[in-house]
Amino acid sequence: MLFADVILPLPLPQLFTYGVPDDLAEMAECGKRVIIQFGAKKIYTALIRKLHNNQPSGYKVKDIISVLDETPVVNEMQFKFWEWIASYYLCNIGEVYKAALPSGLKLESETKILYNPDFTEYESLTEKEKLFIEVIEKHEAITIDKLVSLSGIKNPIKLIKTLLDKKAIFAEEKLRESYKPRQEAYLRLSEKIHNEEQLHLTLDLLKKAPKQQQILTRFIELSGCFAQDIAREVNKNELPPDSNQAVNSLISKNILEVYSKEISRLNSKHCEVTGVKTLNDYQLKAFEEIKQHFLTKDVVLLHGVTSSGKTEVYIHLIEEELRKGRQVLYLVPEIALTTQIIVRLKNVFGNLTGIYHSRFSDAERVEIWKNIASPNEEGSCKLVLGVRSSVFLPFSKLGLIIVDEEHENTFKQFDPAPRYNARDSALVLAKLHGAKVLMGSATPSIESYYNCSTEKYALVKITQRYKDIQMPATVVANTREAYRKKQMKSHFTPLLLNNITEALKNKEQIILFQNRRGFSPYIQCEDCGCIPHCSHCDVSLTYHKRLNQLVCHYCGFVTTEVSQCPDCGSTKIKTMGFGTEKIEEEISLLYPEVTVARLDIDSSRSKKAFEQIITGFELHNIDILIGTQMISKGLDFDNVGIVGIMNADNMLNFPDFRAFERSYQLIVQVSGRAGRKNKQGKVIIQTSDDKHPIIGYIVNNDFQTLYYTQLEERKLFRYPPYYRLIHILLRHKTKEKLDTASYLLAENLRKIFGNRVLGPEYPVVEKIQDYYQKNIILKIEKESSAIRAKSLIQQSVGHFMELPGFKNIQVIFDVDPM
């Protein structure tokens, strides 16, 4: 008897053993998908991990229902990769499976409710049941979710049960529709027309139907049959759009035949292949250095300043790798901002390029998957440009992985497990394939930079900009001093305002960066001092003036009660602090003749609105652009004289252990937008503390020192080999409980991590308090604060673990291969 250990798409730690019936034994193979029943009725698509002959004892095995694949969809290398992800990111293999396979390949059963037409005792039902039955009767088969939304009944399970008992309804498990290849209609001549003579005869017969005659002639032209050229297939869509009726008549007259053919959804358009561009001196130097390093090291970090032409260096490396017949994965943080890269890659590599991201339909993703799984076929993708999830594609012989904008946190998945970082996972994936990794960034992450300093990675630098545009000059404007001297005009220092005025005079554009949306981050009652907070998240509500709403930026809670204090009823409400909306208003007042636009999530909810603002700025129709960090990514402008950082303090004081690093990265990125062809751009950083060391490092572009000091801070949290304990959330109020919890926490952690956890008698409480003061550990005292903390962590670390048996302790890890 043959048994199969399968992976289920569920968060369960172990594999499950199913029996393989004799008639499926030949089909069964590791890496193929199977349909199985799990529990009383659920049906899932599982994945065979292992086949063996060991009869399990202690329980009765169920049999596999069917095998779905002809050939395995997952290879051994991928399984190894999944297993690494599961162990490193503390999740179950089933969760990795769920994340890795496109949903088109994972059918899942759904319970559908059907009405029993033979049911007669309708009158014996209660009102609630009658209502329920009516909804069910209207639909042939309805899902429970839909039933809830249509009937408005909150707890349907009980009702369904009683109705099932009364035999008024049936329940049925149905597999949801899965991937179907796209079929298109093609035409061919009927067999009775096998030579030219008969064709002419047929055409003559059609004299009375000129339209049909015309269509048939067109078809003959297109297909090239009876001509010297090689005959080709004709898609029905190639004929004129109004020809449908004529075609149908031709079919019914047995002249034409229709047949369907599977069509790939991947773009089959032929694009202009222009080949690689020649590299300039420093690009070439970087290119040669990278190749040299790859001889001895597996990972190279390319630190190239903004617009230094890194992409062209990548393209040359990709070209070489493809020529060796190996696959290349090009990871980008977000696909939306990479249209130029896609165009560039398609120009060089044509249809070898595949694109993979979540906005593709399921069917398209399945096709990319299948395409990559069979790399030897003609027209298959050898190069994939994709977002983080593309590390899961079924590569078989990767030669190179490029991780562009390596520092970006979008490489990390936060919400559903596996909470993996695609950049770090890519290193492991490369190791499995014996491939090289090139990471690129203008502002490398501290981890990667550190790995270069310890020579784990090699470092290659490009310090000049493409086309020799000068790096911008950075100056600091002290807001506190300007306030004291009463020189401030609303939130602008004289230095910034003078520069804006000057730039406007020179017909230059201006970018103002304020990393906070809305009008003001909080409002306050002038009588009682009350600040409205979100009842769910314990954070102050942000005032949005245009909508006249108070919005919670953590959970999205909205209220329109803005003019009256919720505590004392006073109407004297002050707006405090400032966001992009307020800057926009103030600038419009200061420069009424100037066109101002704002770019943040609120102003660009739709893709169209976003593009409108961007093109408006590119075409110089907008003079001043105010934005949040949205303006820092993927945009290239050519006429920006001034970049103003409105409130650097706001970033530096963000309660995140990566705040300094983030501030540096954001400021460098936004600054990169400054500069015109023959003129140096200028960056003005407004801060209340111009002696802040980090500001100093940023102004002098001394990121080495910045990173070094940050590293010293972070070393505290390094637990070899991999796990760094960053946050401990303790929701206990009393000291005794906190102590007990800390002790138990330590004991529990030791069970998982062994002696990597600090010693048994270690003063957890003191340590926590120490870290807490440094804003690195969050201590949670109120349940409502937990949501806020979660949100903060998601932005910084994003790796949670609930300790079994300890509901009020949550441990958050940051896992990175430092």
Partner DNA sequence: AGCACGCCGACT
Partner DNA sequence: GTCGGCGTGCTC
Contact pick of 22, 23, 59, 70 for DNA (by CB under 7 A): 59
Closest distance between DNA and the C-beta of residue 12, in Å? 5
Q: Which amino acid is at 351?
A: N
Closest distance between DNA and the C-beta of residue 146, in Å? 15
**For DNA, the closer CB: 172 or 567:** 172
Q: Which stretch binds DNA (CB under 7 A): 53-61, 432-440, 589-597, 621-629?
A: 53-61
Contact pick of 53, 54, 155, 678 for DNA (by CB under 7 A): 155
Interatomic CA distance for residues 653 and 311, integer angstroms: 34
Closest distance between DNA and the C-beta of residue 14, in Å? 7
Residues in contact with DNA, counted by CB under 7 A, come to a total of: 23
Q: How many residues are given for the chain?
A: 818
Interatomic CA distance for residues 752 and 585, integer angstroms: 54
Q: Binding to DNA (CB under 7 A): which residues in 94-133?
A: 111
Q: Binding to DNA (CB under 7 A): which residues in 18-47?
A: 18-19, 37-42
Return phi, psi of residue 309, to 5°.
80, 40
Contact pick of 62, 174, 291, 620 for DNA (by CB under 7 A): 62
Closest distance between DNA and the C-beta of residue 585, in Å? 45
Residue 777, burial from CB neighbour count under 10 angstroms (0-12, 13-18, 19+): buried
Contact pick of 51, 61, 547, 801 for DNA (by CB under 7 A): 61
**For DNA, the closer CB: 60 or 323:** 60
Contact pick of 7, 16, 393, 520 for DNA (by CB under 7 A): 16
Interatomic CA distance for residues 194 and 523, integer angstroms: 84
Closest distance between DNA and the C-beta of residue 411, in Å? 24
Token pair of 179 as six digits = 């991937």
In DSSP notation, 340-386 reads HHHHHHHHHHGGGEEEE-TTS-HHHHHHHHHHHHSTTSTT--SEEEE
**For DNA, the closer CB: 55 or 490:** 55
Interatomic CA distance for residues 738 and 498, integer angstroms: 55
- Strand locations in 485-617 (E): 509-513, 522-525, 542-544, 549-551, 558-559, 573-576, 596-599
**For DNA, the closer CB: 45 or 515:** 45
Q: Which stretch binds DNA (CB under 7 A): 153-161, 324-332, 353-361, 750-758?
A: 153-161
- Cα distances (Å, whole numbers) of residue 182 to 102, 264, 441: 17, 7, 40
**For DNA, the closer CB: 99 or 642:** 99
**For DNA, the closer CB: 40 or 295:** 40
**For DNA, the closer CB: 42 or 431:** 42
Distance of alpha carbon 31 from the chain centroid:
26
What is the sign, positive or negative, of the torsion defined by CA atoms of 83, 85, 91, 92?
negative
User: Does position 158 bind DNA by CB under 7 A?
Assistant: yes
What is the sign, positive or negative, of the torsion defined by CA atoms of 414, 389, 449, 644?
negative
Contact (CB, 8 A) for 385 and 332: yes
**For DNA, the closer CB: 7 or 706:** 7
User: Does position 12 bind DNA by CB under 7 A?
Assistant: yes
User: Does position 620 bind DNA by CB under 7 A?
Assistant: no
Residue in the structure block whose two tokens are 């004297």: 572
Closest distance between DNA and the C-beta of residue 63, in Å? 8
Closest distance between DNA and the C-beta of residue 178, in Å? 17
User: Does position 11 bind DNA by CB under 7 A?
Assistant: yes
List beta partners, residue 522.
Answer: 576
**For DNA, the closer CB: 42 or 679:** 42
Contact (CB, 8 A) for 683 and 645: yes
**For DNA, the closer CB: 157 or 619:** 157
End-to-end CA distance of the chain: 47
Contact pick of 157, 230, 295, 619 for DNA (by CB under 7 A): 157
**For DNA, the closer CB: 9 or 440:** 9
Interatomic CA distance for residues 508 and 616, integer angstroms: 14
User: Does position 10 bind DNA by CB under 7 A?
Assistant: yes
Angle at alpha carbon of residue 286, lines to 281 and 287, rounded to 5°:
95
Interatomic CA distance for residues 743 and 584, integer angstroms: 52
User: Does position 188 bind DNA by CB under 7 A?
Assistant: no
Contact (CB, 8 A) for 285 and 309: no
Contacts with DNA, residue ranges (CB under 7 A): 10-12, 14, 16-19, 37-42, 56, 59-62, 111, 155, 157-158
